[in-house]
């Protein structure tokens, strides 16, 4: 639906639970003529993203959607898309990875792809998915960087919530047609993404052109500047549609809080309920939920955590042999700010393991009881 | 194509590519995967090829061409020929999934496989297109398996046009590219590329070897259109005259076959003869109709 409002021109996707509904819905729009787009029924996710890459290179607005093993199968092309600086938007229904098989939700899939150069936004509810899709194209096309719009598989992908559908005319005004930065049918032939050397080389006019590393640096610079663009687009979105996204992270009752529950995605909703319950018991708890994971919002996070004595981090992913990814990244951000709250990391909800407010509340209380830094992640919900 | 490419001197690919690009003309967008051809196209920021090319990952030629075709169609730019060109590794092996899928969808593009019978860009490793008996760095003794029958595989997809050609017969090659260019749907071309460093022959012998490949029916010039197979050019006159040279003449000019035993030569000859008979039968049928 969000993709339709954005008037995407080429869609390529391969079925995987719980994403399958997305391409199935879009193909109906295309077949009925409601959406003027090419829908390519590819044979794999690797090809799905490749089709998007090449279609985007020639100037089309493109869309794909996947989950779990499908995303892992795209890995080579995730790097390619970002390296080629293409504004591709992908919907990602977060799901755990095999082996062993699970079709249910966690964030191992997208977290495993955090170093591919894609921006990542995590949605709390279905309204946010729709809104994030529309903003994503505007952000990506400004920065020439691709983005994953991540949302919890089944938790959000298969639940019905009332969603306000933006008006097509307003979307059109907010998101004008895509103007590519390369002209494949221009007067001069171009060799796009050729072999590069480590050092700069001169072109036919004797002008030195960037090296491989120079291009890598430019991609990093684009992501460093992405925070401001995301804020600006989020503000503009609020002006037009009445729902502002002028933030890189969400905060709930953080004012005066000394204990912060840190989450991402739909878990933020449960965390907010947990904070309410904790507050009632006299514990000054609040919630910080990362909306944007790449680029990592280190500065806003430092600010949000500046008054915290205890930070309890819930990760639906794990970097095996270390800890949850948001925990590591939060620690790094705090270190740079010289902040030293106690940090407890809980690994939760892997493979769809149900996790509710009372679990988060109990975990936070346990962390507070110890009142010391606990090294290594704690697991919730593993009986055996 | 401009002089001074980064391909080896006396490269069969450079020779073939010159004719292919001429036949394709300006309104063409190319896409090529990792291969010798990437190197031939040059190092950033210069290129030796005067057509727009979108480089793509090794396995993705046909998917990339699909994306280009879809993107151009969505933008209403319908006067371009989309051409994917890949080596035998990029076609027979890692790229066959995407190629098969694109052909099954009858995607509107021309796929050209240039076949130098090995992974040459990475230093002459075997591919499933390497002929039986050949030395490569990953078949240091010999290769025991016959070359994969890519034409049969592609034909099974029921695509509208297929051809095989050789740069040793440039007019035949040129005509086929022009013909393929003007057909809609998935078109597949298979081109023999003698490779001096990979096969072990002096660069002077390039055209000689290309011709011998055809004269021995190791390589057959043909077209398959809507299920009808026709021999063309030199292969067609061989069908008429009934003359075919023994494969040993072809093998002995190449270092990669230095160690083949007489038994292996017989085995290979038997394989060639059988295949040639099949082609002859189908060709005769096409002449009757
Ligand atoms: C996924 C992946 N695996 C391996 C490679 C390394 N690689 C680059 S080119 C090549 C061989 C190409 O062989 P072929 O397609 O026959 O073309 P040729 O080099 O012979 O022209 C290989 C293995 C790669 N680029 N990508
Ligand atoms: S290795 Fe062979 S095919 Fe590759 S550039 Fe050299 S001669 Fe040409």
Tokens 């394989």 map to which residue?
B271
State the Cα–Cα distance between residues B169 and B164, nearest whole angstrom: 11
| Architecture of the domain spanning B12-288 | 3-Layer(aba) Sandwich (3.40)
In this complex, the residue of A36, A192, A197 whose CB is nearest that of residue B55 is: A192
Neighbours of A370 (CB within 10 A): 11
Both structure tokens of B10: 């006396």
Residues of B in contact with A201 (CB under 8 A): 43-46
State the Cα–Cα distance between residues A225 and B279, nearest whole angstrom: 62
Counting ligand 1 atoms within 8 A of each CB, the residue from B31, B38, B89, B93 with the most, and so the one to mutate, is: B89
Does a cis peptide bond (omega within 30 degrees of 0) precede residue A295? Answer: yes
Say which range, A1-5, A138-142, B59-63, B110-114, has the weakest mean pLDDT. A1-5
Q: A59 and A152 share a domain?
A: yes
> What confidence score (pLDDT) does residue B160 get?
97
Query: How far away is chain B from the Cα of A210, in angstroms, using its nearest Cα?
Result: 9
Mean pLDDT on A21-34: 93
Whole-number Å distance, alpha carbon A217 to ligand 1 midpoint, is 27
> What confidence score (pLDDT) does residue B202 get?
96
Residues of A in contact with B62 (CB under 8 A): 47
Mean pLDDT on B197-211: 96
State the Cα–Cα distance between residues A138 and A321, nearest whole angstrom: 38
A204 within domain boundaries: no
The domain that holds A48 is classified in CATH as 3.40.50.970
The domain that holds A307 is classified in CATH as 3.40.50.920
What's the number of domains chain A is made of? 2
As a three-state string, the secondary structure of chain A is CHHHHCCCCEEECCCCCCCCHHHHHHHHHHHHCCCCCEEECCCCHHHHHHHHHHHHHCCCCEEEEECHHHHHHCHHHHHHHHHCCCCCEEEEEECCCCCCCCCCCCCHHHHCCHHHCCEEEECCCHHHHHHHHHHHHHHHHHHCCCEEEEEECCCCCCCCCCCCCCCHHHHHHHCCCCCCCCCCCCCCCCEECCECCCCCEECCCCCEECCHHHHHHHHHHHHHHHHHHHHHHHHHHHHHHCCCCCCCEEEECCCCCCEEEEEECCHHHHHHHHHHHHHHCCCCEEEEEECEEECCCHHHHHHHHCCCCEEEEEECCCCCCCCCHHHHHHHHHHHHHCCCCEEEEEECCHHHCCCCHHHHHHHHHHHHHHCCCCCCCEECCCCC
Q: A143 and A35 share a domain?
A: yes
Residue A4 in this model has a pLDDT that exceeds 70? yes
Q: Does B197 touch chain A (CB under 8 A)?
A: no
Domain that holds residue A168: 2-174
Q: Are B67 and A204 inside 8 Å of each other by CB? A: no
Q: Chain A residue with minimal CA distance to B95? A: A47
Both structure tokens of A281: 């018991």
Residue A371 in this model has a pLDDT that exceeds 70? no
Q: A15 and A153 share a domain?
A: yes
Residue range A180-220, pLDDT digits in tens: 988 888 888 999 999 998 889 998 889 999 999 999 999 99
> What confidence score (pLDDT) does residue A157 get?
78
Q: A42 and A145 share a domain?
A: yes
| Of the candidates B56, B128, B190, the residue with the CA atom closest to the CA atom of residue A56 | B56
State the Cα–Cα distance between residues B41 and B45, nearest whole angstrom: 11
- What are the boundaries of each domain within chain B? 12-288
> What confidence score (pLDDT) does residue A1 get?
75
A226 within domain boundaries: no
Last residue of a domain, one of A174, A204, A225: A174
Q: Are A184 and B98 inside 8 Å of each other by CB? A: no
Residues of A with CB under 8 A from a CB of B: 9-10, 12, 36-38, 40-44, 46-47, 50-60, 62, 76-77, 80, 184-185, 189-197, 201-204, 209
A224 within domain boundaries: no
A196 within domain boundaries: no
Residue range B254-270, pLDDT digits in tens: 999 999 999 999 999 99
Round the average pLDDT of chain B to a whole number and report it.
96
Question: Which ligand is nearest to the Cα of residue A195, counting in written order?
Answer: 1
Residues of chain B with pLDDT > 70: what percent?
100
Q: Are A184 and B54 inside 8 Å of each other by CB? A: yes
> What confidence score (pLDDT) does residue B249 get?
97
> What confidence score (pLDDT) does residue A327 get?
97
Residue A373 in this model has a pLDDT that exceeds 70? no
CB of residue B58 inside a 6 A radius of ligand 1: yes
Q: A106 and A9 share a domain?
A: yes
Contact indicator for A201, A40 with CB cutoff of 8 Å: no
Residue B74 in this model has a pLDDT that exceeds 70? yes
Neighbours of A233 (CB within 10 A): 22
Mean pLDDT on A90-103: 97
Contact indicator for A251, A301 with CB cutoff of 8 Å: no
A219 within domain boundaries: no
Phi then psi for B205, rounded to 5 degrees?
-85, 5
Residue A236 in this model has a pLDDT that exceeds 70? yes
A203 within domain boundaries: no
Q: Are B55 and A50 inside 8 Å of each other by CB? A: no
Q: A13 and A160 share a domain?
A: yes
Q: Does B76 touch chain A (CB under 8 A)?
A: no
Q: A7 and A101 share a domain?
A: yes
Mean pLDDT on B187-193: 98
Strands A285-290 and A249-252: antiparallel
């Amino acid at each position: 639906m969000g993709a339709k409002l954005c008037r995407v021109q080429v869609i390529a996707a391969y079925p995987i639970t719980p994403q399958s509904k997305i391409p199935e819905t879009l193909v109906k729009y295309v077949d009925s003529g409601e959406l003027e787009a090419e829908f390519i029924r590819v044979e794999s996710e690797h090809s799905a993203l490749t089709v998007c890459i090449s279609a985007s290179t020639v100037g089309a607005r493109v869309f794909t959607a996947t989950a779990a093993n499908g995303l892992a199968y795209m890995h080579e092309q995730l790097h390619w898309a970002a390296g080629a600086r293409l504004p591709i938007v992908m919907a990602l229904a977060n799901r755990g990875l095999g082996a062993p098989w699970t079709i249910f939700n966690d964030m191992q899939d997208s977290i495993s792809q955090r170093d591919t150069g894609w921006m990542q936004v995590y949605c709390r509810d279905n309204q946010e998915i729709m809104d994030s899709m529309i903003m994503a194209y505007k952000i990506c096309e400004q920065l020439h960087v691709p983005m994953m719009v991540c949302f919890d598989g089944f938790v959000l992908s298969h639940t019905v919530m009332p969603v306000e559908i933006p008006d097509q005319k307003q979307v059109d005004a907010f998101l004008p047609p895509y103007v590519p930065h390369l002209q494949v049918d221009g007067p001069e032939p171009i060799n796009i993404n050729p072999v590069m050397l480590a050092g700069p080389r001169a072109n036919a006019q004797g002008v030195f052109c960037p090296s491989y590393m120079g291009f890598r640096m430019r991609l990093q610079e684009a992501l460093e500047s992405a925070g401001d663009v995301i804020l600006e687009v989020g503000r503009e979105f609020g002006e037009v549609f009445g729902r502002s996204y002028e933030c890189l992270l969400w905060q709930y009752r953080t004012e005066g809080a000394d204990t912060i529950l840190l989450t991402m995605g739909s878990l933020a909703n449960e965390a907010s309920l947990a904070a309410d319950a904790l507050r009632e018991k006299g514990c000054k708890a609040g919630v910080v939920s990362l909306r944007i994971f790449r680029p990592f919002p280190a500065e806003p996070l430092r600010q949000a955590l500046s008054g915290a004595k205890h930070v309890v981090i819930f990760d639906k992913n794990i970097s095996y042999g270390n800890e949850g990814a948001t925990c590591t990244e939060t620690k790094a951000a705090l270190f740079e700010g010289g902040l030293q709250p106690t940090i407890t990391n809980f690994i939760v909800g892997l493979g769809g393991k149900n996790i509710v407010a009372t679990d988060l509340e109990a975990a936070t209380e346990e962390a507070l009881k110890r009142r010391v830094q606990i090294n290594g992640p704690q697991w919730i919900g593993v009986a055996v | 194509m401009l002089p001074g490419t980064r391909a080896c001197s006396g490269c069969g690919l450079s020779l073939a590519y010159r004719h292919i690009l001429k036949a394709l003309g300006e309104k063409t967008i190319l896409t090529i995967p990792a291969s010798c051809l990437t190197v031939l196209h040059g190092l950033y920021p210069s290129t030796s090829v005067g057509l727009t090319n979108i480089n793509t990952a090794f396995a993705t030629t046909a998917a990339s061409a699909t994306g280009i075709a879809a993107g151009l169609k969505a933008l209403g730019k319908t006067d371009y020929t989309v051409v994917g060109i890949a080596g035998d590794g990029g076609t027979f092996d890692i790229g066959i999934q995407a190629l098969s899928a694109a052909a099954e969808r009858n995607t509107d593009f021309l796929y050209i496989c240039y076949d130098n019978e090995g992974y040459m860009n990475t230093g002459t490793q075997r591919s499933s297109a390497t002929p039986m008996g050949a030395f490569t760095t990953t078949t240091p003794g010999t290769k025991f398996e016959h070359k994969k029958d890519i034409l049969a595989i592609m034909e099974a997809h029921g695509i509208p046009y297929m051809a095989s050609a050789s740069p040793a017969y440039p007019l035949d090659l040129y005509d086929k590219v022009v013909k393929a260019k003007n057909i809609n749907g998935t078109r597949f071309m298979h081109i023999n590329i003698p490779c001096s460093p990979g096969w072990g022959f002096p660069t002077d012998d390039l055209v000689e070897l290309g011709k011998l490949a055809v004269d021995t029916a190791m390589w057959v010039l043909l077209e398959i259109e809507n299920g009808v197979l026709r021999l063309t050019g030199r292969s067609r006159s061989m069908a008429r005259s009934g003359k075919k040279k023994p494969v040993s003449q072809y093998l002995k000019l190449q270092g990669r076959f230095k160690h083949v035993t007489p038994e292996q030569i017989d085995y290979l000859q038997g394989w060639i003869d059988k295949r040639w008979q099949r082609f002859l039968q189908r060709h005769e049928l096409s002449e009757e109709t």
